[in-house]
Amino acid sequence: MGDAKIRVLALVPDAFGGYGGVALYLSDLLAATASNDVVKEVVMLARNPVPGDAALPEKITVCAVRGGKAGLVLGLFKRLAYDRDFDLVLCGHINFLPLAIAAKLFTRAKLLLMIYGIDAWTSPDSRLGRWSIKQKMKVVSISEHTRALFCGWSAIPASDVAILPNAIRVENYGIAEPDEALKTRYGIEGNRVLLTLGRLSAQERYKGVDEIIDVLPDLLRQYPDLVYVVAGDGDDRERLMQLAADRVLTNSVRFVGRIDENEKAAHFQMADAFAMPGRGEGFGFVFLEAMACGLPVVASKLDGSREAVRNGAIGLMVNPDNREELVGTIAHALDLPKQIPDGLEHFAFAQFEKKLAAIYGSMGLGRS
Amino acid sequence: MCGIAAIFAYNYPALDIDRSELRAIRDHMAARGPDGFGEWFSDDQRLGLGHRRLAIIDPDERANQPMVSQDGKLAIVFNGEIYNFRELRRGLEQRGHYLRTESDTEVLLYLYAEKHEAMLPQLRGMFAFAIWDVERQKLFMARDAYGIKPLYYADDGWTLRVASQVKALLAGGKISLEPEPAGIVGFHLFGSVPEPFTLYQQIQQLPAGHCLWADEQGVGEPQQWFSIAAQYVPAGTFLRPGEVQQAVTAALLDSVRAHLVADVPVGAFLSAGIDSGSLVGLMRDAGANDIQTVTLAFDEFEGSANDEAPLAEQVARQYGTQHTTRRVGRQEFEQDLPRIFQAMDQPSIDGINAWFVSKAAAEQGLKVAISGLGGDELFGGYPSFRDIPKWVRWLHLPGAIPLLGRAVRAAVAPLTKPLGINPKVAGMLELGGSWEGAYLLRRGLFMPWELPALLGTEMAREGLRRLQPLAWIRSAMQPRPTTDFARVACLEASVYMRNQLLRDADWAGMAHSLEIRVPLVDAQLLADTAPLALQDAQWNKQRLARAPSRPLAGEITNRAKTGFTTPVAQWQAQRSPQTTSRAGSDLRPWSQHVFRAPASSGLEQGGIEFPAHG
């Protein structure tokens, strides 16, 4: 620890204890940053307040700000008023980029932007946003899919965008007998279960739930005991429930709402297969979680989730527009035995840490 | 010569490399290397190299590739020729290295071990290679100064794939077919696809005179190691006019001698022009006495003043070569067209002559042929050397008035078609006042404002935004040359010759397993002659014509000024749908025929749709 000297200023929507894929990714990213020998301190400013009981890794300091974007702006400038000794500004979301550039100007630090999914697939609407992407920076993309789309509209060359997919801590998951109490809660004792887990957003509508409901009658002919469990909440939930009702599928679909983080593994463990044949996944961490619980998974060929299943090597892939393929592949997944696939360990946290250290090294931030 | 392939699964979540994919990429290039093939894989299966060989130097099997250094620390695949390899080899031996083969490939391995990328300026020749450095776990790739040999790579963020041809990469089946608007727009502006772009977003050409590193962190930015423009710097000493010719002759002879290094016979393409004739004369001076020459002639011209065959035969007699005149007719053109499109790696509006002359040379059993390509760029043979400086002088001031040029173009452009005048006229004021703009006018196929009608508004706008054609052309004059001649020479060598002529020579020659050597495209020759070009008021093709000890006859040296034509343009025009404007280049309709032929662009398989003709 003798030569730890790098100070990092992180602007993030949320991290430790936050909800959703971005928060999870940023938690890992900040943890891996803090665990790097050359890093002395990570000062984190989050738009959404960090819960008091969140476990924070060593070397991470939360700079308390009032919630919301205005609170973040204010908090940042208050901090910069007395503390500008940073070597790296870590911008946790493309929406914060103008703010991160301001921080970079004040601190003369290097800038690293994180990009995930649809947030970075098209050019920002605002003039400020478009200006900000022309500044000099390094970028970390969660997937090649996102990188290709991002490089397509921005002028940033692919060589300035490193790819760092989600990490999975396999030890937190594992194959286990279904939790009968949970199945009872949903009234699916003795049923075969197909699971989707994701935010149900009316604006995005990309998780492939529509497509699965559409082919469910075909699947029910093959597996009369099948129940489709949709976990997650959002403003599209009502419409999807109505869709299931219109198709007279109410008995075969359960919308179970948002799941508590500590019950997540149990939900995977009670299912027989996981499917999310969508169009808008930046990477699809949830696939790694499902696989870490031994579930056969069905990902989409049309988005970043193909990378989560390593291009078909550890999970199945379908074109969600192809109805026949969808039915066949989900049916196949339901028949497969539970098994944690060989090759999932490529996404281990240690690999993530190593790659991130190499990215910092390539930016001239201490040893790689 | 050869075809090279590499796959490097550099990112930790990437799958181990797929051997059958490497073989598919490699074997798509079978014509580039019919004499042998090989593959090599790293112990951890994260890297594979593939090679197809056309054996020219040390044809023995011991020189097959991929070649691994004796200590097992380096593995290489190499396409091209290092003409000074014997000299480099001697240096290595003096420094205590023991080399097992007589090949230039092995020399590259040892030079890399000594000095990594600093080896590149020492190499005289044409090359594209990839070296896997086992100890550093890095892949090093490099391309020659002028970009004679191609090197394409595709990085999908997980795995890097490298090959000598775009179509070979596609044959592996793992590359996204997403079209690259900059490549598509570039083809329509220039008639060839401008590097580093290709028609596919994922595939890039490593730019000429650049090298590239890749390691577990990913693929870096290409680094430039050679600039043509940087050679055009005034020499410290001035030569008297008589001494200039002496110096030019010595430099030319040196290059030709270097280009004769081979363990198989080296033939030559011979036309009725100065470039090829002088080279054959210089080959004699360099000691080659059993030269096979090949001339391409056209049935349509037989007996007419346009027929090159009689004059070429005269040159052949003068230098005592074994000469063949190969006649080609319309019917053969039609017959070969599907194969031509198949062989064309990226769409090009030219290359038909190169196809037939390579075919003729291969029929004569030649594996290597010298070509006069590059003479016009080096000695100012194109009309552009006269026109562009004139336009820039006249239009520089009026062109500087804000918005005037655009307004004139917007007013005039719609009138060019009904009036049947060249569409370029509309852009004279807007573009003609800058070097890059004038060059686009001189060499352009379609003008930027014509693209929306051809490609659709979205594709045209996106392609222009990504390509930035004027800035792209301007980059050829970096650092800025001081004379008019030097500026045009840099533009012609870096834009037209590199992206059009050299690419055509590569695919057309390779399709017939023929190595085309270009002594007038040589970094050493450029370094020797560029300072002379800056100080010599008489710098033109006559300098080349006077170089052989027995100079070319007056019929040849004077004829060249009138230029010569081939019926190929006519055949092309007859094959093309007559739906685009008749004004402008004859090649405009042909370009559309090429571009929309699935075999040449492959884009239709990628599923992109273009607006209908007309």
Give me the tens of pLDDT residue by residue for chain A, a chain 368 residues long: 457 789 999 999 988 877 778 898 999 999 999 999 999 999 999 988 788 777 889 999 998 888 788 899 999 999 999 999 999 999 999 999 999 999 999 999 999 999 999 889 999 989 998 899 988 899 999 999 999 999 988 888 888 999 999 999 999 999 999 999 999 999 999 999 999 999 898 877 789 999 999 999 999 999 999 999 999 999 999 999 999 999 999 999 999 999 988 899 999 999 999 999 999 899 999 999 999 999 999 999 999 999 999 989 999 999 999 999 999 999 999 999 999 999 899 899 999 999 999 999 889 887 54
Rounded distance, CA A34 to CA A31, Å?
Answer: 5
Please name the residue that has the structure tokens 């789309």: A149
Other CB atoms within a 10 A radius of the CB of residue A84 amount to 14
Among the partner-chain residues A143, A163, A313, the one whose CB lies closest to the CB of B15 is A313
Among the partner-chain residues A147, A347, A359, the one whose CB lies closest to the CB of B157 is A147
Q: A217 Cβ partners below 8 Å, 6+ apart? A: A247, A249
Model pLDDT, residue A152: 85
Model pLDDT, residue A104: 95
H/E stretch holding B348: none
Rounded distance, CA B222 to CA A4, Å?
Answer: 32
Burial class (CB in 10 A: 0-12, 13-18, 19+), A294: buried
B217–A157 CB contact, under 8 Å: no
Rounded distance, CA B246 to CA A182, Å?
Answer: 94
Nearest Cα to Cα of residue A281 among A293, A290, A272: A290
Best of A301, A307, A352, A367 to mutate (most B CBs within 10 Å, chain B): A307
Q: B208 Cβ partners below 8 Å, 6+ apart? A: B143, B144, B145, B146, B147, B195, B226, B494, B498
Report ipTM for this prediction: 0.72
Chain A residues near residue B217 by CB distance under 8 angstroms: 162, 355, 358-359, 362
SS3 A89: strand
What pairs with residue B141 in β-bridges?
B130, B212
What is the arrangement of strands in the sheet containing B2-9, beginning at the earlier edge strand? B36-41, B47-53, B2-9, B159-163, B152-155, B203-205
Model pLDDT, residue B516: 97
Burial class (CB in 10 A: 0-12, 13-18, 19+), A1: exposed
Cis-peptide, bond into residue B66, ω within 30° of zero = yes
Surface of B (126-165) touching A: CB under 8 A: 155-158
Q: Does A122 touch chain B (CB under 8 A)?
A: no
Q: Does B220 touch chain A (CB under 8 A)?
A: yes
Chain A residues near residue B138 by CB distance under 8 angstroms: none
**Which conformational region is residue B116 in: left (phi greater than 0), alpha (psi within -120 to 50 degrees), or beta?**
left
- Write out pLDDT tens, residues B495-536: 999 999 999 999 999 999 999 999 999 999 999 999 999 999
Residue B6 phi/psi, 5-degree rounding, is: -150, 145
Q: B125 Cβ partners below 8 Å, 6+ apart? A: B80, B81, B82, B83, B84, B85, B104, B144, B258
Chain A residues near residue B158 by CB distance under 8 angstroms: 144, 163, 307
- Contact of B251 with B354, CB cutoff 8 Å: no
A246: its two tokens: 């219109």
Nearest Cα to Cα of residue A281 among A201, A341, A344, A336: A201
Nearest Cα to Cα of residue B9 among B142, B135, B128, B137: B137
Residues of chain B with pLDDT under 70: 1, 560-565, 576-585, 602-614
- Contact of B424 with B444, CB cutoff 8 Å: yes
Q: What does pTM read for this prediction?
A: 0.87
Among the partner-chain residues A141, A143, A355, the one whose CB lies closest to the CB of B12 is A355
B13–A152 CB contact, under 8 Å: no
Q: Does A359 touch chain B (CB under 8 A)?
A: yes
B219–A159 CB contact, under 8 Å: yes
Chain A residues near residue B201 by CB distance under 8 angstroms: 148, 152
Q: A183 Cβ partners below 8 Å, 6+ apart? A: A189, A191, A193, A270
A307–B158 CB contact, under 8 Å: yes
A310–B218 CB contact, under 8 Å: no
SS3 A84: coil
List, as one string, the DSSP characters of B289-308: -S-EEEEEEEGGGTTSTT--
- Write out pLDDT tens, residues A8-49: 999 999 888 777 788 989 999 999 999 999 999 999 999 887
- Contact of B270 with B280, CB cutoff 8 Å: yes
Rounded distance, CA B533 to CA B540, Å?
Answer: 9
SS3 B279: helix
- DSSP β-ladder status, A39-46 and A60-62: parallel
Nearest Cα to Cα of residue A197 among A310, A309, A288: A288
**The residue type at B384:** S
Rounded distance, CA B374 to CA B388, Å?
Answer: 19
Model pLDDT, residue B563: 44
Other CB atoms within a 10 A radius of the CB of residue A303 amount to 28
Rounded distance, CA B405 to CA B449, Å?
Answer: 13
Q: Does A162 touch chain B (CB under 8 A)?
A: yes
